[in-house]
Structure 1
Amino acid sequence: MAKKPKKEEIAKVHKDLEGFKMNIDTFGEISSTFSIDKLNEFLNKNVDDKKLKDREDIEEIKEGKGKKKK
Structure 2
Amino acid sequence: MLRSLKARYGFQRTAAKPKVNQELEGFDIKINSAGEIESSYSIDQLNEFLNRKVYDKKLKNDVNSENP
Normalising to structure 1: TM-score of the pair? Answer: 0.63
CA drift at 1:12: 1.1
Higher helix share: 2
Of the two, which has the highest radius of gyration? 2
Kindly indicate whether residue 24 of structure 2 is the aligned counterpart of residue 17 of structure 1.
yes
Aligned to 2:51: 44
SS in 2 for 1:53: helix
Q: Provide closer, same or farther for how the CA distance between residues 57 and 11 of structure 1 changes in structure 2, counting only shifts above 3 A.
A: farther
Aligned to 2:61: 54
Q: Count how many residue pairs are aligned between Structure 1 and Structure 2.
A: 54
Unaligned runs of 5+ in 2: 1-12
Rounded to whole Å, the distance in 1 between the matches of 2:48 and 2:65 is: 18
Normalising to structure 2: TM-score of the pair? Answer: 0.65
CA drift at 1:54: 2.3
CA drift at 1:49: 1.4
Q: Which runs of 4+ in 1 moved over 3 A?
A: 6-9
For 1:27, the aligned partner's letter is A
